[in-house]
Amino acid sequence: MKNKTNPRRNFIKKSSMALVAGGILPHFSAKSYARILGSNERILASVMGVNSRGNALAQNFASQDNCDVIHICDVDQRAITKCIDALKERQTVEAKGFGDFRKSLEDKDVDALVIAAPDHWHAPASLLAMQADKHVYVEKPCSHNPNEGEILVQAAEKYGKVIQMGNQRRSWPNVIEGINALKAGAIGRVYFGKGWYSNNRPSIGIGKETEVPEWLDWELWQGPAPRKNFKDNLIHYNWHWHWHWGTGEALNNGTHMIDLLRWGMEVDYPSKVSSNGGRYRYKDDWETPDTQIINLDFNNGMTMSWEGRSCNGKNIEGSSVGVLFYGENGSMLIPGGDSYTIFDLQSKVVKEVKNTMKIDARNKMNPAEKLDALHIQNMFGAIKNGTTLNSDMDSGHKSTLLVQLGNIAQRMGRSLEIDSKNGHILNDNDAQKLWGRSYEPGWEMKL
């Protein structure tokens, strides 16, 4: 059995400790958290995109006793160095840096690719990883557009690889308990759900075309996206607000809440989608809405909505992020953390399950590291033992698709009629043009 200083790919047929769904994390010290499972049969991971969220994910993966992060990949050489240095506090193996993640995929020792690059990279990189015989952990959203999501669902089946989307609340124990109580009838028949996200993001200004910084591989950063000139207000975060690369606040944060609503209400595809909003707060290069309300109607007498406010951080129900389920006999609140509260019809608290640790939903890098480790271990269980994924690609795609449909309705300026059997847009050729995207020649996604 190998130790941490000599990693080998030797895990598929090995057994791992069973992961308990809830009640374990509060008893862990900071030291014991760093080695959750205690198994020495480790998964060897490569992490792609480590400037912010990817750096946190790399550290979290490295903290698992059954994992070594052996490769760090980024088009920003500074980010590679920073992340490799950070990993020295989490593991004894020193990771190797790659400017091009495709070189990492050529290494047969790599078992899984962790993807936290910009949204336009999520699906193409996931597909390339599966084609290279790697498992995948991809941050939400799983795709830039609906067509890519459908390709990933097909790819997961074709290549037989584990692919988990990073909607980590699916693995949080108190959230699981709350959703199970909801499904068991805690508030009666649920017919409406709403989610929200608020923040106080500043203006991104008007960018200027400049020379590409020497530390950045701008060509590879663009990758699958058709080429555009570099602007000085784009890298590293403001790409989120450009349709060419990003998906706006709706998929940046709305995906999490829509996923909770879809999970709790046990729905798949809507029959009608609408969206209202726009870029209201500032006049700058920001293209996606900073204020948006997406409404989704379902054939079974249910509806849900999501409210996003990027530039006014007023909380709802005391939280910057959360969901509320409304039923015949009461309501259930799941705010930003691992907690839930059940109310009766007179708004009296019937049951309250509180957070066991502090969570900062507005921390874009690492809001809930210890809880997110459960999602990582769920993926490892699927790789080693065939454990059911908490967020497989079929489920991840459905939740991502609902918010993508909201963005398409927003961009078209009208409601969309949807085929409730498969989520496809009906009778709207112009809207259908946004189902996919154009690619830089040679970068098209092909099964």
User: Going residue by residue through the chain (447 aa), what tens digit of pLDDT does each one get?
Assistant: 333 443 344 333 333 333 333 333 433 334 334 344 334 489 999 999 999 899 999 999 999 999 999 999 999 999 999 999 999 999 999 999 999 999 999 999 999 999 999 999 999 999 999 999 999 999 999 999 999 999 999 999 999 999 999 999 999 999 999 999 999 999 999 999 999 999 999 999 999 999 999 999 999 999 999 999 999 999 999 999 999 999 999 999 999 999 999 999 999 999 999 999 999 999 999 999 999 999 999 999 999 999 999 999 999 999 999 999 999 999 999 999 999 999 999 999 999 999 887 666 555 445 578 899 999 999 999 999 999 999 999 999 999 999 999 999 999 999 999 999 999 999 999 999 999 999 999 999 999
Q: Does pTM top 0.95 for this prediction?
A: no
3-class SS at 264? Answer: helix
Q: Which residues, other chains included, contact 157 with Cβ-Cβ below 8 Å and sequence gap of 6+?
A: none
List 309's β-bridge partners, or say none.
198, 291
The beta strands (E) that lie in 257-383 are given as 272-278, 291-298, 302-309, 321-327, 330-334, 340-344, 349-353
Q: Which residues, other chains included, contact 240 with Cβ-Cβ below 8 Å and sequence gap of 6+?
A: 118, 119, 246, 247, 248, 249, 252, 288
CATH superfamily, region 173-208+215-363+393-432? Dihydrodipicolinate Reductase; domain 2 (3.30.360.10)
For 34, the token pair is: 């760093």
Question: Residue 170 in contact with residue 390, Cβ under 8 Å?
Answer: yes
The single residue listed with the structure tokens 């950063």 is 221
Secondary-structure class of domain 25-170+371-385 per CATH: alpha beta
- DSSP H helices, 69-159, are 77-87, 101-105, 119-131, 146-159
Domain positions in the chain are 25-170+371-385, 173-208+215-363+393-432
List 322's β-bridge partners, or say none.
196
Instruction: Measure the CA–CA gap between 315 and 317, rounded to whole angstroms.
Output: 6
Q: Identical fold at 25-170+371-385 and 173-208+215-363+393-432?
A: no
**Other Cβ atoms closer than 10 A to 313:** 13
